[in-house]
């Protein structure tokens, strides 16, 4: 099955990320621009940002968009002419991948962080197939790796290397590690860290870019929304929300051992009140995130660690099930 090519377990493995290239043809990115705009409720004009290049001028025909009118040629010739545009080749595609501590959680097939890396790799390979320039912003709680958009397979491999290497770069000073930059500000909360990343993205992204922001969106608030406002107006931003089934619903009543690899705790799920509060809190967080994205007019795609990633992503992009 196609889903079996996605990672399982707790480690982000470069070999798995490279292997996802076989599925890239299942994600035709260019085809999704209009569909995603419809999902977000946006009304994109025929001329937007850096996503379109001028091609030629021709005489006006019934039904043409008058916003594309070339008034200079019209005045010179005495006949109405419009400008024709073609979609820009080598469009910048920015993959933003959240690898913070809150992403290191999973109770099913894999961790949210591993799923985020898989989706980042798949979208990067799809962008390569499309002839786009690929860039990345990979971040954890303390540092980020900023990879400016470039073309070619080598660029994708560098991004995959960064995805696999960032979780271990704090404990190594090897010069072969990616150049992870420590944030100039110290984030004392998930909300502050998310604000830092949104500000950084606003500074580095080019108008007309396609941006895929993959995260559980922990800490996203009104301040973050303000930072992404201009980004969403000048680029094609898609929000991909990752979660785990246990975040939505506690397991059946019982005692469960949980660990982060160092610390351990016992989870008691017998209380019906606690179970209801847990369920309501997750639903409230989902609703708040949806409201943020609705105001930004940004499409929101949700995946869980127990979903079939390819089909769920294709469904979110409006493509349908994989063949």
pLDDT tens, residue by residue, 220-278: 999 999 999 989 999 999 999 999 999 999 999 999 888 777 788 898 999 999 999 99
Task: Judge whether residue 3 has pLDDT over 70.
Answer: no
Kindly state the helix (H) or strand (E) to which residue 115 belongs, with its residue range.
helix 112-129
Q: How confident is the model at residue 122 (pLDDT cuts 50, 70, 90)?
A: very high
Tens of pLDDT along 32-58? Answer: 554 454 444 443 333 333 445 566 788
Q: Write out the two tokens for 41.
A: 């409720």
Task: Judge whether residue 62 has pLDDT over 80.
Answer: no
The pLDDT of residue 41: 47
- Tell how far CA 308 is from the center of its chain: 17
Task: Judge whether residue 205 has pLDDT over 50.
Answer: yes
pTM: 0.81
* C-alpha–C-alpha distance, residues 157 and 40, integer Å: 31
Query: Percent of the chain beyond pLDDT 70?
Result: 81
Cβ count within 10 A of residue 34: 11
* C-alpha–C-alpha distance, residues 98 and 213, integer Å: 8
**66 or 129, which is more confident?**
129
**60 or 134, which is more confident?**
134
Kindly state the helix (H) or strand (E) to which residue 181 belongs, with its residue range.
strand 181-182
Kindly state the helix (H) or strand (E) to which residue 258 belongs, with its residue range.
strand 255-259
Task: Judge whether residue 11 has pLDDT over 50.
Answer: yes
Query: Percent of the chain beyond pLDDT 90?
Result: 65
The pLDDT of residue 170: 42
Q: How confident is the model at residue 153 (pLDDT cuts 50, 70, 90)?
A: very high
Overall average pLDDT of the 102-127 stretch: 96
- Mean pLDDT, the chain, rounded, equals 86
The pLDDT of residue 60: 82
Tens of pLDDT along 292-323? Answer: 999 999 999 999 999 999 999 999 998 866 65
* C-alpha–C-alpha distance, residues 107 and 34, integer Å: 35
Task: Judge whether residue 207 has pLDDT over 80.
Answer: yes
Q: What DSSP character marks residue 47?
A: S
The pLDDT of residue 1: 55
Tell me if 70 sits within 8 A of 76, measured CB to CB. Answer: no
Q: How confident is the model at residue 69 (pLDDT cuts 50, 70, 90)?
A: confident
């Amino acid at each position: 099955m196609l889903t079996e090519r996605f990672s399982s377990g707790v480690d982000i493995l470069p070999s798995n990320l490279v292997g996802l290239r076989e599925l890239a043809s299942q994600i035709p990115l260019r085809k999704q621009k209009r569909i995603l705009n419809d999902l977000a409720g946006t009304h994109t004009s025929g001329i937007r940002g850096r996503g379109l290049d001028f091609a030629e001028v021709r005489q006006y025909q019934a039904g043409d968009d008058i916003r594309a009118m070339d008034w200079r040629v019209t005045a010179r010739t005495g006949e109405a002419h419009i400008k024709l545009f073609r979609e820009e080749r080598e469009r910048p595609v920015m993959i933003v991948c959240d690898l913070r501590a809150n992403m290191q959680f999973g109770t099913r097939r894999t961790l949210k962080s591993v799923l985020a890396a898989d989706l980042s790799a798949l979208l990067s390979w799809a962008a390569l197939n499309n002839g786009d320039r690929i860039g990345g912003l990979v971040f954890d709680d303390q540092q980020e790796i900023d990879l400016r958009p470039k073309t070619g397979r080598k660029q994708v491999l560098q991004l995959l290397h960064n995805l696999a290497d960032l979780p271990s770069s704090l404990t190594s000073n090897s010069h072969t590690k990616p150049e992870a930059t420590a944030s100039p500000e110290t984030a004392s909360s998930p909300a502050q860290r998310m604000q830092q990343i949104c500000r950084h993205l606003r500074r580095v992204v080019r108008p007309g870019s396609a941006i895929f922001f993959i995260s559980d969106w922990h800490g996203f608030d009104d301040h973050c929304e303000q930072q992404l406002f201009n980004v969403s107006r000048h680029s094609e931003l898609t929000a991909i929300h990752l979660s785990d089934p246990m975040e939505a619903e506690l397991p059946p009543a019982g005692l469960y051992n949980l660990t982060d690899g160092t610390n351990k705790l016992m989870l008691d799920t017998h209380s019906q009140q606690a179970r209801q509060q847990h369920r309501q809190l997750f639903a409230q967080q989902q609703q708040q995130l949806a409201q943020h994205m609705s105001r930004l007019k940004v499409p929101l795609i949700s995946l869980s660690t127990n979903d079939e990633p390819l089909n769920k992503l294709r469904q979110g992009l409006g493509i349908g099930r994989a063949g």
